[in-house]
Amino acid sequence: MSTIFEQDASTTESNERLRRLHASAVRLCAEAVSQVKPDHLSVETPCSEWDLRALLAHMATQDRGFAGAARGSEDPGAWEVRVAADPVADYLAAADEVVAAFAEPDVFERTVLLAELSSEHRFPAATVIGFHLVDSVVHAWDVARSIGETIDPDPEVVLMALEIAEAVPDGPFRSEPGAAFAPVVAGADSGSPMDRVLRQLGRSPEWTPTSARA
């Protein structure tokens, strides 16, 4: 995965394209979250271990973790999930924070330590932005599908997310507790680009909440 972004990061134009697509992906996620009502917070999500309240807490924590890491934080405690009294407002504030962090002029000159993943390995900032872009696209779908809504992502964002998703290794480790993604779902090389992203990252595009299947 790093090879993709190390090549893209070689020019100002590719950096700015990545930054623009990342901001669009976060905006897509924020639009989905903005539709969440208080009575939605207990609904199930495609992330089987989390209801929507827990998913939003995870998303807000990730956004703040990425933002802090981009600005030089190496504190693993920043990645500890805390459930806010208003999960929607908390997520939206965190989304603004991560977009602002990645918008800083010299961000592409940095290497970033994601303390949640490693205490030693640093990633080029472009790689980190790509990680967060694909997370935002997929979580936008997670949230929307959980509440019976849909998303309308920019096709260019989806193609970038697909490029990243296809570079994520698959294997038995994806079935372990705490794995970032579930195993690749059959059919990941077919269907729409968005469907392929979802299958690559362990989601079924046909998933719906149990309540909607009755």
All structural domains of the chain with their residue ranges: 2-170
Domain formed by 2-170, architecture: Up-down Bundle (1.20)
pLDDT given at position 48? 83
Q: What's the CA gap between 70 and 66, in Å, rounded?
A: 6
**What residues contact 159, with CB distance under 8 A and at least 6 apart?**
193
115: tokens are 């303390």
- Tracing tokens 């992906």 back to the chain, one arrives at 25
Render each residue's pLDDT in the chain as its tens digit; 214 residues. Answer: 444 444 444 578 899 999 999 999 999 999 999 999 999 999 999 998 899 999 999 999 999 999 999 999 999 999 999 999 999 999 999 999 999 999 999 999 999 999 988 888 999 999 999 999 999 999 999 999 999 999 999 999 999 999 999 988 777 766 677 667 777 888 878 889 999 999 999 999 999 988 765 5
pTM of the predicted model, to two decimals? 0.89
